[in-house]
Chain A
Amino acid sequence: MKKARQLFAGLALSIFGLGLAHADYTLNLTEGVTKVSKDVHDLHMLILWICVFVGIGVFCTMFYSIYHHRKSKGHKAEQFHHNTTVEIIWTIIPTAILIGMAIPATKTMLEMDDVQDADMSIKVTGWQWKWEYDYLDNGIHFFSSLDEASNKARQKGSGIDPKTVPHYLLNVDHPLVVPIRTKIRFLFTAADVIHSWWVPDLGWKKDANPGFINDAWTYIEKPGTYRGQCAELCGKDHGFMPIVVIAMEKEDYKQWVEQQKEAAAAEANAAEKSWTQEELVAKGETIYANNCASCHMPDGSGMPGTFPAIKGSPIVTGDIKQQIEIMFNGKGMMPAFGQMLNAVDFAAVATFIRNGLGNSVGDMVQPSEIAAMQNATAANDDTDEE
């Protein structure tokens, strides 16, 4: 009896599981989770039905003609070649339909454009190939990149079946967390090339242009996890910089904010402690895989002509100061990692590449030294602003 019950439960679960798998499989635009996304969906359906209706009219006429007015049925061709009345009618009717379309479209466009009276603001910066989120109201700041499982599976010849990876290519290490029923203003910019931030459930995408700021807003109605991707070609790993937004109840969001603040404090403490070379190398390996391997390759061999090799590089095997300088401030296509990684991660990866990937220089850098550099830069920025 018990076994039978288990069997039924198992069956029910697997059917439910199948149902879930099918829920992912959609033909149409999502309705999304905001009022704006529903408006966009309604506009989409309206114009779609208009097209279907006009299409049926045109195609039926054409196929009626193809069927009946054919030579093989003995139909004789009439020789008319214009009819002003008909031509005026089929110009005016579409014009009227189009004006009818433009009115609701304008209304929605105006609504989407109105970013005023936002309750909070998040600055989103696109990088090759990750997103940076800055909560302007409470100072929370982090980078969000493709999660490790997807990243491993997506390597050519990884041998990992993408179907076994949960949310393959649509999962990140640090999701964007936001409260529901809050008008959130997003500010978009980019650090290197143009990116575009797209979460279909929010109903829009917006380009992130280097050197300029775009804005957009959302007001999410229900808690959930909403996934999207970069939509503007941004180079090699354009397909691998997903977006995950977790919308939670306001209370839960407050708790999350507190946790983030504690974590930031703990991070600062970790930077103060003295690390051994082995600890740093061990930590640096994953940092390298997540931040450096996409250009310099997982084994450090680089891509000749585009991305220099790490293995045997004169800079990495030479003066540590010069290596850190390049990592910190960037060079050419390489972004400035000084503000992107925390002091521990920075020191770890800097030490790792000198003592891994076939290099064995034997020296190291302490997180505290990096933290000092970061503080100095921050102080400089403040002076600049004054």
Chain B
Amino acid sequence: MSAVIAEHDEHHDHGPAKGILRWIITTNHKDIGTMYLVFSLIMFFVGGTMALIIRAELFEPGLQFVDPQFFNSMTTMHALVMVFGAVMPAFVGLANWMIPMMIGAPDMALPRMNNMSFWMLVAGILLMASTLFMEGGGPAAGWTFYPPLVLQTGKAFPFAIFAVHLLGISSIMGAINIIATIFNMRAPGMGMMKMPLFVWTWLITAFLLIAVMPVFAGAVTMLLTDRFFDTSFFDAAGGGDPVLYQHIFWFFGHPEVYIMILPTFGVVSTIIPVFARKPLFGYTSMVWATGFIAFLSFIVWAHHMFTVGMPIAGELYFMYATILIAIPTGVKIFNWTATMWKGSMTFETPMLFSIAFVVLFTIGGFTGLMMSIAPSDLQYHDSYFIVAHFHYTLVPASIFVLMAAGYFWLPKWTGNMYNERIARLHFWLSAISINILFFPQHFLGLAGMPRRIPDYAVQFADWNMISSIGAFIYGFSQLLFVYIVIDTIRGGTGKATDEVWEDASKHSLEWTLPSPAPYHTFTTPPTKIPSEHLD
């Protein structure tokens, strides 16, 4: 059937435009997906460099390399670049590439908007990065932009806020596109409960994005008017309240962290069954658990604010609601374990990264559970314990799974197999160094080291040094990934088969297409929909 599709394309002459213009004006979901992925990989290294500046300064006590103000600006920009420049765009890139191919659609529903949302992302990130060179330095009040501190930002302030607006608009457009595609473009027979879990988790993520990005835009706009138009939303002297900002921000911020983790769950739920050679265990409960987690994400925001001085009823409510998150998350962990159980497993790099994800994300989940206990959180809050927690749920989770996704689908995208030996080296270096990097930070936090400080008391010296060593090993070993990607594009270790992985076409539609996937796919819808989890 794939041959038919290829022929069909040639007849209508819908190949890519030539030269650089192909990329600027493209409306093809694969081209846009590639641009998103490449852009996010570049941003991963930009944000990573900032992290290494932070870890270099923290290598030993005393100030060696940077001024405290620049240090704060690094922690702020590292977070913004990683969240809005690396992780979110990477998942949008995967969505662009994979959702049409997984649901048997020829392209995204709104291709021109798709192009616009990518270039708006680039504009937003460039504007954000340019603030680093402005008078007074880049934003340095943390990625959370808490007032009144953020109002002390120099010339960069309005530019940073405008950048956030651009990124928000870009995300919202991307989300609308994904929802429109999933609701309208599914091949005949691709019922909602037959969709691969990656499509499901992205659908739910897209709704989260549409719900909360405008809230964030509103919050930063209020900051803007407070500074330039004499309003006092967050200024007690004018009848406002700085804590109000934190409520609005975390109403956005908590769903935001799930925006980064739900697609991760989707990718893992797609990869593990392929390498266990089994259907995903508990498909239906996975879908419901994802929905439940998304719902809970809207009603737990103030667990980021246990120390802010809430009434006791608020403290208790947010504690109970937060504890609840452990239940659907636990269900997911158990389902992945049960998917592996009695399978016939092989351990190619995507599977290795996915297993590491399940183990390390579980550790991040445990510390999350610990922090939901409000009285204990009064100790953990704003210490290195939380830094360890959220990096465990972001780096060995989202980033590892993005790497897994890269290795998993690279043969489908390029038509070539990647170098498995170097990829495994990349995996082992990453998996070991990430623990050297973040595990000691639990000890630092419990011992009393606050986060976001450029210098520390000498009793924190040893673990900081170990953590920094881990950071440098991790950072430099990511260059292997770049090497492998370039090598694979150039031919890798040989041609990939259409199915790439053994019996993969039983699991999802993209493996029924040729490798590399032609420029246009599913211009006629597929006839057979994989549904092994229902049989």
Contacts and interface: CB of A to CB of B under 8 A. Distances in A.
B457 A167 contact: yes
Contacts of A230: 450
A81 B323 contact: no
Contact of A236 (B61, B69, B281): B69
Interface string A141-183: 0000000000001111110111100011110000000000000
A200 B384 CA distance: 13
Given A207-B309, A231-B382, A169 B237 contact: no
A211 B242 contact: yes
A307 to B, nearest CB: 9
Given A109-B375, A239-B68, A69 B342 contact: yes
Contacts of A62: 337, 340, 355, 358-359
Nearest to B383: A231
A231 B312 CA distance: 21
B457 A170 contact: yes
B282 A82 contact: yes
B344 interface: yes
Contact of B149 (A61, A72, A234): A234
A194 interface: yes
B507 to A, nearest CB: 12
A161 B323 CA distance: 45
B459 interface: yes
Interface stretch (B44-52, B262-270, B366-374, B480-488): B366-374
Contacts of A47: 369-370, 373, 376
B66 to A, nearest CB: 8
Interface in A193-234: 193-194, 196, 198, 200, 203-207, 209-212, 214-215, 228-234
B236 A210 contact: yes
A374 B405 CA distance: 67
Given A27-B447, A109-B374, A168 B61 contact: yes
Given A207-B307, A232-B382, A77 B276 contact: yes
The listed residue with most A CB atoms (<10 A of its CB), out of B137, B284, B446, B457, is B457
Interface string B356-388: 001100110011011001111011011100000
A303 interface: yes
B243 A212 contact: yes
B373 A101 contact: yes
Given A26-B447, A231-B383, A305-B154, A98 B326 contact: yes
B283 interface: yes
B377 to A, nearest CB: 9
Contacts of A78: 278, 342-343
19 contacts: A27-B447, A39-B375, A44-B376, A58-B337, A58-B362, A62-B359, A82-B285, A90-B330, A91-B330, A94-B326, A108-B375, A169-B455, A204-B379, A211-B235, A212-B241, A229-B448, A232-B382, A235-B141, A236-B140
Interface of A: 24-30, 39-40, 43-44, 47-48, 51, 54-55, 58-59, 61-62, 65-66, 69-72, 75-83, 86-87, 90-91, 94-95, 98, 101-102, 105-106, 108-110, 112-113, 153-158, 160-163, 167-170, 188, 192-194, 196, 198, 200, 203-207, 209-212, 214-215, 228-240, 303-306, 333
Given A25-B447, A79-B278, A305-B137, 15 more contacts: A44-B373, A47-B370, A58-B362, A61-B337, A61-B341, A65-B343, A69-B344, A70-B346, A72-B346, A79-B279, A79-B532, A112-B378, A205-B378, A233-B451, A305-B155
